[in-house]
């Protein structure tokens, strides 16, 4: 990498197949050392409940908790205690998230597959879900909204939230306010692997849930993987990532700002510009240098650029689309003359933002779409967090006598072909004299 450039520039045509594969395939593997530590934490919490949760909270967070649960009155009054501009912003975000996610669940039609044979599906929510929100010295009310609002829309009767306490042992007011806005029923001031174990198996204070959602560090992710099977989980979360497809119509100032915005999440994030324009690439490099000068998170962004960021020069937009489908980014921005034409060729991306006025931070907070997205290439097979993940469709079948008679020969023939005589007789007994 050029020592004075904040991010390296690569020409796609110069890459060998192996180099290209290394760029597009990121590993989400967790080390055995981390897994070993987390396995012990999970087992301790499973065996000793609240006692272990308190011990690990004191060890890792430096906080000795009098109570694990935040009193309900603190949640209900949190909106009155935060800055009212923030309260209004969160209310707008919650309303937009609710509107978008409410459209994802709707009654399905009854299908008559044969005369007298009706089949349909009915929606049923998961009764109790758990949401993990990173915390400690930080606050992430948007993460609360993105999980708990869809859970509420889905009809989950209990939404349990766990988040690490701050140095004072308390949950940030903004997090509690988001919980109040989004329908969270109980909040516990615990974090880390011990919180995941507590939600998975339950303790004297914390109820066991049926499915756990939410991002976290490598220890939280390892805990989710370990409890999976005893409880369901959403998906493991890796470093955040952005790819921008841009042609020479893109504004270099805006493009640089978008790359920086994505890279300030964490030093292992990935921000990638894929462009047909060498002049844009050069202008973006200059803008990155200029905009980084007074950025509060400058060191974190530079670390992110140096570890996972790059500018990729391609010959045409078809090459750009091919690369993006291999990379399968969490976020994809398309800033070209005709973004919707490019959209048609994209198969693998978590969330797509079209045009210069659709920057990723808008989706992070207030568009209404979900910002919980597949990372590390998992957008090849996974989609964004949705209302459907907080429940399930249940199949229903209703047959009349004539309806069953009309398919009875098909059922009995297939049952006997599979050597399941009892299946066949369960049909025939209904028509025997």
Helix (H) or strand (E) holding 60: helix 50-61
Q: How far apart are CA 392 and CA 83, in angstroms?
A: 38
Only one residue has tokens 């042992």, namely: 169
Spatial neighbors of 392 by CB under 8 A, at least 6 apart, are 123, 124, 126
Was 210 annotated as part of a binding site? no
Question: Which residue in 70, 80, 74 sits closest to 169, CA to CA?
Answer: 70
Only one residue has tokens 């915390």, namely: 135
Active site residue 330: yes
Was 262 annotated as part of a binding site? yes
In the set 330, 344, 421, 428, the catalytic residue is 330
Buried b (16+ CB within 10 A) or exposed e, 349-375: bbbbbbebeebbeebbbbbbbbbbbbb
Residue 311 three-state SS: strand
Was 132 annotated as part of a binding site? yes
Query: Are 411 and 427 a contacting pair, CB within 8 Å?
Result: yes
Burial class (CB in 10 A: 0-12, 13-18, 19+), 411: middle
Was 247 annotated as part of a binding site? no
Was 25 annotated as part of a binding site? no
Tell me the CB-side half-sphere exposure of residue 152, using CA atoms within 13 A: 21
In the set 101, 147, 331, 371, the catalytic residue is 331
Q: What is the DSSP string of 330-390?
A: SEEEEESS-HHHHHTT--S-SEEEESTT--HHHHHHTSSS------TTGGGT-----GGGG
Was 418 annotated as part of a binding site? yes
Q: Which residues pair with 11 in a beta bridge?
A: 313
Q: How far apart are CA 229 and CA 388, in angstroms?
A: 19
Spatial neighbors of 289 by CB under 8 A, at least 6 apart, are 4, 5, 6
Was 69 annotated as part of a binding site? no
Was 265 annotated as part of a binding site? yes
Q: How far apart are CA 97 and CA 367, in angstroms?
A: 7
Backbone angles phi and psi of 427, in degrees to 5? -85, -50
| Residues of each annotated binding site for NAD(+) | 132, 194, 217
* Residues carrying an active site annotation: 330-331
| Residues of each annotated binding site | 132, 194, 217, 240, 262, 265, 331, 364, 418, 423
| Residues of each annotated binding site for Zn(2+) | 262, 265, 364, 423
| Residues of each annotated binding site for substrate | 240, 262, 265, 331, 364, 418, 423
């Amino acid at each position: 990498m050029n020592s004075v450039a904040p991010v390296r520039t690569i020409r796609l045509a110069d890459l060998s197949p192996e180099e290209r594969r290394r760029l597009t395939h990121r590993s989400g593997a967790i080390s055995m050392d981390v897994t070993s530590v987390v396995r012990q934490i999970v087992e301790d919490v499973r065996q000793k409940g609240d006692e272990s949760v308190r011990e690990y909270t004191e060890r890792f967070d430096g906080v000795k908790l009098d109570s694990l649960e935040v009193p309900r009155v603190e949640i209900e009054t949190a909106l009155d205690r935060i800055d009212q501009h923030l309260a209004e912003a969160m209310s707008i975000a919650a309303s937009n998230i609710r509107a978008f996610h409410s459209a994802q669940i709707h009654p399905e039609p009854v299908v008559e597959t044969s005369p007298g044979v009706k089949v349909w599906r009915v929606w049923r929510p998961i009764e109790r879900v758990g949401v993990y929100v990173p915390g400690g010295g930080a606050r992430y009310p948007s993460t609360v909204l993105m999980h708990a609002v869809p859970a509420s829309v889905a009809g989950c009767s209990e939404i349990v939230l766990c988040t690490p306490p701050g140095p004072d042992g308390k949950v940030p007011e903004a997090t509690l306010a988001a919980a109040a806005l989004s329908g969270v029923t109980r909040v516990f001031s615990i974090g880390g692997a011990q919180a995941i174990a507590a939600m998975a198996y339950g303790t004297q204070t914390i109820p066991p849930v049926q499915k756990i959602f939410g991002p976290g560090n490598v220890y939280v992710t390892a805990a989710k993987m370990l409890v999976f099977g005893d409880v369901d989980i959403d998906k493991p979360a890796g470093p955040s990532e952005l790819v921008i497809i841009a042609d020479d119509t893109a504004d270099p100032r805006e493009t640089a700002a978008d790359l920086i915005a994505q890279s300030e999440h964490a030093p292992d994030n990935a921000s990638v510009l894929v462009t047909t324009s060498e002049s844009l690439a050069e202008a973006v490099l200059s803008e990155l240098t200029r905009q980084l000068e007074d950025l509060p998170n400058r060191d974190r962004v530079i670390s992110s650029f140096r570890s996972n960021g790059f500018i990729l020069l391609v010959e045409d937009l078809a090459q750009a689309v091919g690369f993006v489908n291999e990379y399968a980014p969490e976020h994809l921005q398309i800033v070209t003359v005709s973004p919707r034409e490019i959209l048609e060729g994209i198969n693998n991306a978590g969330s797509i933002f079209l045009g210069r006025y659709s920057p990723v931070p808008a989706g992070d907070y207030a568009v209404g779409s979900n910002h919980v997205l597949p990372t590390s290439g998992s957008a090849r097979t996974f989609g964004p967090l949705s209302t459907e993940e907080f429940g399930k469709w249940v199949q229903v079948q209703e047959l009349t006598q004539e309806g069953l008679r009309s398919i009875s020969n098909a059922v009995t023939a297939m049952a006997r072909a599979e050597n399941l005589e009892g299946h066949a007789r369960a049909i025939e007994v209904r028509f025997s004299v």
